Amino acid sequence: MLNELQNRKNDLKDKSEEYKNKRNELNLEASKWAGKRNELNKSTKELIDEAQQLKKLRDENNHQVSEAKLKRDELNEQANKVYAEIDKIRKELNLGNGPSLKELKREIDRLEFKQQTEVLTPAQERELVDNIASLTEELKRKKQQLEGSSELKSLLEKAQVLRDEAAAYHNRVKEYAEAAQKYHDKMIVIFKDADRIRSESDEAHKEFVKAQEAADEQHRLFIQSQKEIRELNKVIIGLKRKTKESKEESIREKTKKEAEEVYNQFKLGEKLNTEDLMLLQRSGLL
């Protein structure tokens, strides 16, 4: 019985050591996955912070787009009102018929370019020269008419200033819109990177949980085996104590019996030697 218990205890000690070693290995693995997960989470946070900053810049530029559009539209509206006044004066001065100064200048430039670059017959050349001269005279006449009206000239200058300012704000709209789009595109790329790394972090966390749960199970088995070893120790110690007591009782009985035989011989007149006397003393018969 005692040998069986001792063998069981030794087996438990071996298993307990295995559980402990396996637990420590799994704890190291769990720690490795936790470290990787934490690094990935840190990278994700940094990317999200960067993306949020880009989002802020995008929104700021979009706000600037709205502000510039509003200002551009206000200036165009003011210019349209001025042009409405110009059209009114032109009608009063009979300047509303025929092409505008800009259109006349463009047509003259086109005809002069044609004269310089194309091969023409003499008749075509004369016709072209006559057309240029006619258009130039018309341009000169309209300029003189316009210059003769100080009010119209002032309104034209005012309208041009408004159009120029509106054009400047339109350029700002394009610049802010392009910047907003650039920040938006970068933000999307970074958010995608953050999602990808977050997915890797989730996988690392799953591995961490798996390793940690396995380590906890090995620890539970280790604790259980240690508890069984302690319980077996109590039983083994008790059995050893009983065995020792039984052995001592057997020795005492044997000694007592031997002493009684020596004592009986002594009473019959036999001489006792030193060992016999010591035996009688140990047994309490002397």
Total structural domains within the chain: 1
Q: Distance of CA 3 to CAs 10, 12, 75, Å? A: 10, 14, 106
Bin 100: left if φ > 0, else alpha if -120 < ψ < 50, else beta: beta
pLDDT (0 to 100) of residue 46: 96
Residue 9: inside a domain, yes or no? no
Residue 233: inside a domain, yes or no? no
Return the minimum-mean-pLDDT range out of 52-56, 147-151, 193-197, 200-204: 147-151
Q: What are the start-end ranges of the E strands in the chain?
A: none
Residue 143: inside a domain, yes or no? yes
pLDDT (0 to 100) of residue 85: 84
Enumerate residues 6+ apart whose C-beta is below 8 A from 233.
9
Distance of CA 84 to the CA centre of its chain: 58
Residue 6: inside a domain, yes or no? no
Residue 134: inside a domain, yes or no? yes
pLDDT category at 153 given cuts 50, 70, 90 is confident
Average pLDDT of the segment spanning 263-280: 68
Domain that holds residue 140: 100-148
Q: pLDDT tens digit string along 213-241?
A: 999 999 999 999 999 988 888 887 777 77
Q: pLDDT tens digit string along 16-49?
A: 999 999 999 999 999 999 999 999 999 999 999 9
For the chain, give the mean pLDDT: 85
Residue 260: inside a domain, yes or no? no
Assess contact for 202 and 56: CB atoms under 8 A.
no
Amino acid symbol at 268: L
pLDDT category at 157 given cuts 50, 70, 90 is confident
* ∠ CA 90-95-99, rounded to 5°: 120
pTM over 0.95: no
Residue 135: inside a domain, yes or no? yes
pLDDT category at 58 given cuts 50, 70, 90 is very high
Residue 111: inside a domain, yes or no? yes
Assess whether pLDDT exceeds 60 at residue 96. no
